[in-house]
Chains A and B, each alone.
Chain A
Amino acid sequence: MAPPAQSQRSQSPSQPSGKSEVSDLKLQLRQLAGSRAPGVDDSKRELFKKVISYMTIGIDVSSLFGEMVMCSTTSDIVLKKMCYLYVGNYAKVNPDLALLTINFLQRDCHDQDPMIRGLALRSLCSLRVANLVEYLVGPLGSGLKDSNSYVRMVAVIGVLKLYHISASTCVDADFPSTLKHLMLNDSDTQVVANCLSSLQEIWSAEASTSEEASREREALISKPVIYYLLNRIKEFSEWAQCLVLELVTKYVPSESSEIFDIMNLLEDRLQHANGAVVLATVKVFLQLTLSMTDVHQQVYERIKAPLLTLVSSGSPEQSYAVLSHLHLLVMRAPYVFSSDYKHFYCQYNEPSYVKRLKLEMLTAVANESNTYEIVTELCEYAANVDIPIARESIRAVGKIALQQYDVNAIVDRLLQFLEMEKDYVTAEALVLVKDLLRKYPQWSHDCIAVVGNISSKNVQEPKAKAALIWMLGEYSQDMQDAPYILESLVENWDEEHSAEVRLHLLTAVMKCFFKRPPETQSALGAALAAGVADFHQDVHDRALFYYRILRYNVSVAERVVNPPKQAVSVFADTQSSEIKDRIFDEFNSLSVLYQKPSYMFTDKEHRGPLEFADELGNLSIGEAADNVVSSQRVEENDKDLLLTTAEKEETRAGHSQQASFGIDDLLGLGMPAVPNVPSPPQLKLNTKAALDPSTFQQKWRQLPIALSQELSLSPQAVAALTAPQALLRHMQSHSIHCIASGGQSPNFKFFFFAQKYEESSNYLVECIINTSSGKAQVKVKADDQSTSQAFSTLFESALSKFGTP
């Protein structure tokens, strides 16, 4: 008879001091294992709870595996669930012991209670131990035929899990076609939905190798299947509806009557309480009508109200997601939302990420009829307690002003901002006034009067100061004090930390000089002297340039520095319309939230260069020691690699600034990193090298980066690289073989390998080529580190010959 385990109620687990607790648990579990005493389940439950809570707070309790399995013979379903949870968590690290669990899980798969059958099956498939797959096929097969829909639903997902453990086992057992049958015939919609999601995943993965699978994948978006699913859509759970709707967006109807049928059928989905369903429906509507301009416009009108409701009634997180989508729509159809601008007024309590999007919406929907009210509202935010939002709203006012509606009123408002005597408000307003003047020079008279009253001592932010100085230079003829203000600024040259401001100051003094020479002459002299002595390269160069051109010919200098200007009509858009279209195609996806098409953030290629750029910085210093440092950086796995990228991403800004200070270093970048290294012995490569992909992957994971650099491609090479194959053949002729390649213009990615002649020493290369910038990012890994430099030289010369006849 086992002693009852300590019966204290589980408190919130405190951090155990060490291993003693775990071994203590082990002992207690062992005592309970064989016991059939009454109440033993309760004691087990307490113990299990403890184990799970340890597991939850991250203590390794995998050593209890054996005992846990021994205790698992029970009819108590909570105990079973905890045990399943435990087993699922640790089976992967204990593949040998996992075999022990198969027995009881398989037994549970035949339990009378469908709930237990389902749970057992789910756990069985969640073990994810490759050498146990043979035990899965049987239970899965009977699970798919089970009379209870809960079990079938679990089994369907189980098939997908099996596929991910061992694709061949799954396909050999003919599970995909069973799923297809179930999908088209099962009475339970959750089973149908699970079949659909599993099949989509399986067939997409198979499609690259099997033609049949890609045919099957196509068949999913055929008319009969789509109609079958659509007709049952109301029976599906809300999440499954999203899945079906997503599938429908891929369907191309053959005639327009079909489009209307589908839209009629789905119209009420727009009223669904679940925002995900609404957004998925919106996507269907937009995609279906893309080719029908009139209907497309009507669709905008139709989807407007549901979307606005989502914004105002959901949680802030939901509003954020929906607003991002609205922002995308408003870019394409600003007029649709222009009468609903009040929806985008900010509430005091909203988180700033929502407010920021709302401000963007307000700028986007502003038009002739509503500008006055929107600007009035925005001006109220300028006095907001939340300073970043106050700044953004001032910027928004400026953006609206640049859109040419009701400029008159806006300029008055902006000038009021200047008089608010709040440093950040003044700063933002100055920048805006500058932009306004560039676009509407006719307002200069009103603006200059106000700007002239601002003391440059009260403006600290570089951007604002630069704007003020620009105006002083540009309108020095209208501002009485301009030369003297500039002069005092020049006197404080050494206290001015921002290079941007000093650059502007130089130019402004020049402009002022052309307009009012006698008053400015001394200031100009002082500025040029200070500029030439400046340690910042750009400032130095500009000062020198001005100095020389003045010496050459003053009137030429004036034509260069202060030519008559045309008003700017349009400021450059930050995003290309191509990218916007791309994002629109990816409506209802994360792309919209990031405002980037998915290839720009889900592909690792787009994150890679940041890391290289950094290592490149190290290389350019030209010290061999740096190579050692970078080669010591062990890439344990992909994740670590990426994590370090992020840290660098943060520091990148600072880094690039540093780089621009040291121009000499920068110039070193263009040169190959070889010169400082003694020329290595000639390396000969095996022309018939062979390496299978799995070995490659393994080595790539294990080996540290020996070398990483950026190479420039010749224009011929860029021209020749229309498809990855071209480069493959070329490199092969240099005994460098490709193991994998991919990408589309302008981004290509290659994995190459090579072997040393008559030795089995391998070199692995990752090469990312961007044809638009003509750069190649190269990472080399080698079995034999000492020859990696030699190999890299070889690789580089091979690459440089690409494209030349």
Chain B
Amino acid sequence: MLQCIFLLSDSGEVMLEKQLTGHRVDRSICDWFWDHVISQGDSFKSQPVIASPTHYLFQVVREGITFLACTQVEMPPLMGIEFLCRVSDVLSDYLGGLNEDVIKDNFVIVYELLDEMIDNGFPLTTEPNILREMIAPPNIVSKVLSVVTGNSSNVSDTLPGATGSCIPWRAADPKYANNEVYVDLVEEMDAVINRDGALVKCEVYGEVRVNSHLSGLPDLTLSFANPSILDDVRFHPCVRFRPWESHQILSFVPPDGEFKLMSYRVKKLKSTPIYVKPQLSSDAGKCRVNVLVGIRNDHGKTIDSITLQFQLPPCILSADLTSNTGTVNILGNKTCSWSIGRIPKDKTPSLSGTLVLESELERLHVFPTFRVGFKIMGVALSGLQIDKLDLKTAPSRLYKGFRALTRAGEFEVRS
């Protein structure tokens, strides 16, 4: 049971306060919280659940905005954390991104949303689809409309039908001239390569995203060619459990619009699409760096936007790094970033140079971790393949589309 929600800007200013119960939480808690955050260094480092002298605080930081919730009673911790995460998702969805200005400009909408999302400290509905029907987002269309019609209310006149229907995620009976449904496989590869160059861990976290614009109450089934490779799966509430349990078929009535149908993990993959070989050798107060990047397995698809980032250890005085491909930048906080883009056919990209250590140091003891980024369109590296998508009582004209994409997630190479 949450008692109050605050939104704080990145300077600790209270941008919004929403009291939820009869017990009023004084704003001074925010001052306490901010002092606490400062004492921890930065808010990213302080724990998501903190005990202040008067309240237990949940904090979630997104894009510099701190979502802070207070309670005085015992409650499931994930309920607080998940709820705040949802609030930030919904707000960023509504306002087209999160930042201080956009929240201050639209605080009335934020209040309205919070009003519907939580009452008396208990979360009600956080489904974006439903909220959209109660409170229209402040987009350009509605602004234009309001100018034209003179009706500037951003609240729809009707209550969402779904509050009464038994499918809480779907608005009752939308109508489309073009019936379309798109399925995207979006995968992120997490990998850790240790100092000896061995692949310690390689996994893919994937999501099946669906964008559906279908009339009536469509009943869809989606099946995979190789569902057995999936390890842990999590479903949108619309997915029926039994068909999955018995035949690994996803059977569902989709929400309208875009949503995440399912997330999964594929573990114990054997190889990564690219390799990164860092070499550091230090001697007499200097450290030679040499990093090679190349394609390991050819998937037949081009690998795009390859980047490499690493933090220079604090004991380094200066760095002189050059590359034969792409550009190298060293940012103010000693982050070095090398953007390669595509790997050229004729040469292997390499980064080399020297680091000058602090005067007393002979050798380097702290080694940087290289974080790798890449993007491959058109392939799901886990190997997951969609078999078919069927619609019960298909309308006469139905467009189906499938796409796949793999990105680097937490892909790190230690040196």
Chain A residues proximal to chain B, CB less than 8 Å: 10-13, 41-42, 45, 49, 52-53, 56-58, 76-78, 81-82, 85, 88-89, 92, 113-115, 119, 122, 128, 148-150, 153-154, 157, 160-161, 164-165, 187-190, 194, 197, 234-235, 237-239, 242-243, 246, 267-268, 271-276, 279-280, 305-306, 308-309, 312-313, 315-318, 320-322, 324, 342, 345, 347-349, 351-353, 376-377, 380, 383-385, 420-422, 425, 586, 588-594, 598, 601-602, 607, 638-639, 642-646, 649
Contacts and interface: CB of A to CB of B under 8 A. Distances in A.
A319 to B, nearest CB: 9
Contacts of B74: 586, 589-591, 598, 602
A552 to B, nearest CB: 50
A421 B365 contact: yes
B77 A321 contact: yes
A165 B22 contact: yes
A370 to B, nearest CB: 13
B85 A161 contact: no
B163 interface: yes
A58 B27 CA distance: 9
- Scoring B49, B59, B76 by chain A CB atoms within 10 A of each residue's CB, the highest score goes to B76
A420 B78 contact: no
B105 A10 contact: yes
Interface in B34-85: 44-49, 51-54, 56, 59-60, 72-79, 81-85
B108 A273 contact: no
B139 to A, nearest CB: 16
The 9 closest A-B pairs by CB, nearest first: A268-B241, A309-B232, A646-B53, A317-B48, A239-B123, A12-B104, A276-B78, A642-B53, A276-B79
Contact of B164 (A12, A188, A194, A197): A188
A639 B124 contact: no
A352 B122 contact: no
Given A53-B107, A160-B120, A309-B234, A643 B195 contact: no
Nearest to A318: B81
20 contacts: A41-B152, A49-B108, A56-B107, A78-B108, A88-B19, A114-B159, A128-B22, A165-B22, A189-B168, A268-B241, A272-B235, A275-B82, A317-B81, A348-B410, A385-B314, A385-B368, A420-B365, A594-B49, A602-B74, A646-B52
B314 A273 contact: no
B134 interface: yes
A12 B105 contact: yes
A113 B157 contact: yes
Contacts of A588: 76-78
A349 B373 CA distance: 13
A342 B234 contact: no
B166 A235 contact: yes
Contact of A422 (B26, B235, B314, B365): B365
Interface in B354-376: 365-369, 371
Interface in B12-29: 13-17, 19, 21-22, 24, 26-28
Contacts of B53: 607, 642-646, 649
A351 B44 contact: yes
B236 A273 contact: yes
B153 A157 contact: no
B125 interface: yes
Contact of B152 (A42, A342, A589): A42
Given A317-B81, A349-B371, A13 B410 contact: no
A380 B153 CA distance: 59
Contact of B77 (A76, A77, A422, A589): A589
Contact of B108 (A52, A380, A591): A52
Contact of B367 (A13, A383, A589, A598): A383
B122 A197 contact: yes
A589 B76 contact: yes
A756 B237 CA distance: 67
Of the four ranges (under 10, 10 to 19, 20 to 34, 35 or more), the interface on chain B belongs to: 35 or more
A348 B200 CA distance: 14
Contact of A321 (B44, B81, B126, B127): B81
A78 B155 contact: yes
Contacts of A275: 78, 81-82
Given A13-B104, A238-B237, A353 B153 contact: no
B60 A317 contact: yes
Interface string B111-153: 1100100011011111100000010000000000000000011
A56 B44 contact: no
B399 interface: no
Nearest to A373: B200
A56 B27 CA distance: 11
A39 B241 CA distance: 53
A160 B241 CA distance: 35
Contacts of B288: none
Contacts of B84: 317
Given A53-B107, A239-B124, A313 B205 contact: yes
Nearest to B231: A305
Contact of A306 (B104, B190, B232): B232
A274 B19 contact: no
Given A190-B124, A279-B76, A639-B54, A273 B263 contact: yes
B209 interface: no
Nearest to A346: B192
Nearest to B152: A42
Among A78, A190, A422, chain B packs the most CB atoms within 10 A around the CB of A78
Given A305-B231, A385-B366, A602 B73 contact: yes
B159 A148 contact: yes
B195 A385 contact: no
Contacts of A591: 74
A104 to B, nearest CB: 18
A456 B312 CA distance: 30
B342 interface: no
Contact of B168 (A49, A113, A237, A321): A237
A153 B159 CA distance: 13
Interface string B319-353: 00000000000000000000000000000000000
Nearest to B233: A271
Contacts of A349: 371, 410
B78 A593 contact: no
B14 A57 contact: yes
B111 A81 contact: yes
Given A81-B115, A377-B200, A590-B49, A315 B60 contact: yes
Contacts of A197: 122
Nearest to A356: B47
Given A13-B104, A148-B159, A272-B237, A321 B134 contact: no
A76 B108 CA distance: 14
A594 B49 CA distance: 9
- Which of A154, A187, A321 has the most CB atoms of chain B within a 10 A radius of its CB? A321
Nearest to A79: B153
Given A148-B159, A321-B78, A322-B78, A353 B48 contact: yes
B313 interface: yes
B106 to A, nearest CB: 10
Contacts of A149: 163-164
A268 B32 CA distance: 42
A594 B48 CA distance: 12
A242 B76 contact: yes
Given A149-B164, A313-B205, A589-B74, A380 B195 contact: yes
B277 interface: no
A194 B122 CA distance: 9
A113 B155 CA distance: 12
A14 B237 CA distance: 43
B101 interface: yes
Nearest to A388: B45
A13 B235 CA distance: 42
Contact of B163 (A119, A150, A324, A345): A150
Contacts of B232: 305-306, 308-309
A383 B32 CA distance: 35
A52 B111 contact: yes
A324 B124 CA distance: 26
